[in-house]
Structure 1
Amino acid sequence: MKYSDEQRIAKIQVTTEKLLTYISRENITPERIFHEEPIQWAVTTPLYNIGEHVANLTAEFKQEHNTIPWVKIAGLRHRLVHHYEDTNWTVICAIIYDVLPKFLEELKQL
Structure 2
Amino acid sequence: MQHDVQACLLDMLIAARRALRRLGDMSEEEFRANEDAQWYMFSQLVIIGEAAHRVERSVQSQYPTIPWNEAISMRHRIVHGYDSIDWGIV
Counterpart position of 1:29? 27
Equivalence for 1:100: none
Q: Give the unaligned 5+ runs of structure 1.
A: 93-110
Deviation string 1:8-28 (CA, Å, 9 cap, x unpaired) is: 10111111111101114xx43
Q: Within 1, Cα distance between the matches of 2:27 and 2:16?
A: 17
Aligned with residue 67 of structure 2, among 66, 69, 76: 69
2:52 to 41, 51, 54: 54
Higher-helix-fraction structure: 1
* Corresponding residue of 1:103: none
CA RMSD of aligned residues (A): 1.8
Partner in structure 1 of residue 37 of structure 2: 39
Q: Is the 8 A contact 2:23 2:37 kept in 1?
A: no
Give 2:26's aligned amino acid.
I
Q: After the TM superposition, list the runs of 4 or more consecutive aligned residues in structure 1 that deviate by more than 3 angstroms.
A: none
| TM-score normalised by L of structure 2 | 0.86
| Separation in structure 2 between the aligned mates of residue 32 and residue 67 of structure 1, nearest angstrom | 29
